[in-house]
């Protein structure tokens, strides 16, 4: 328990508050990389008034351009698709989970099961980079990854990620 408290005390909880039950897709239906990106992105856009849905195709293209530079499929079943966009005014985060796994061109060649998407304003680099670093640190813990795959509710996912 003490390890867990120390671990989360190093993380910026302000950024993790961007993760809410409304931004979690516990059972992704998509079966390929582009569809996963679209499914999670659509979830973000439908859950906010901050992003004009008319710009969803632009944001989707920005996410694909970012992926074309280097896949955000990491190791251990994690992918962190993200982009900075002129169509986004504040940072948004969403989580998708696929029990079956999806080929996301991950570094280790394995399928990805947990997807953390962030959409950030183009002119604000600090929070974007800090969030990516912090979520990567959290997901480096195998116990947390395992618990995410076993989560039954969105509230449980939030609790696991934020350590609350």
Q: What is the mean pLDDT of each run of 10 residues along the chain (164 residues)?
A: 52 71 94 97 91 96 96 93 94 94 95 95 83 86 94 94 80
The whole-model pTM stands at 0.88
Question: DSSP assignment of 21-44, as one string?
Answer: GGGEESS----SHHHHHHHHHHHH
Which pLDDT score, from 0 to 100, does residue 109 have? 94
**Annotated catalytic, 58?**
no
Of the candidates 58, 82, 92, 113, the residue annotated as catalytic is 82
- Please state, as a whole number, how many other Cβ atoms lie within 10 Å of the Cβ of residue 39: 18
């Amino acid at each position: 328990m003490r390890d867990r408290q120390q671990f989360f005390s190093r993380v910026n909880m302000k950024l993790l508050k961007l993760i809410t039950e409304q931004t979690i897709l516990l059972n992704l239906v998509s079966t390929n990389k582009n569809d996963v990106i679209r499914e999670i992105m659509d979830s973000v856009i439908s859950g906010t008034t901050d992003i004009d849905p008319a710009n969803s195709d632009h944001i989707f293209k920005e996410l694909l351009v970012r992926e074309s530079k280097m896949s955000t499929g990491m190791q251990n079943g994690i992918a962190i698709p993200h982009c900075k966009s002129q169509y986004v005014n504040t940072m948004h985060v969403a989580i998708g989970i696929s029990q079956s796994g999806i080929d996301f061109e991950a570094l280790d060649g394995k399928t990805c099961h947990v997807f953390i998407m962030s959409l950030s304003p183009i002119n604000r680099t600090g929070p974007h980079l800090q969030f990516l670093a912090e979520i990567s640190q959290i997901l480096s813990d195998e116990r947390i990854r395992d618990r995410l795959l076993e989560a039954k509710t969105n509230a449980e996912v939030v609790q696991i990620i934020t350590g609350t």
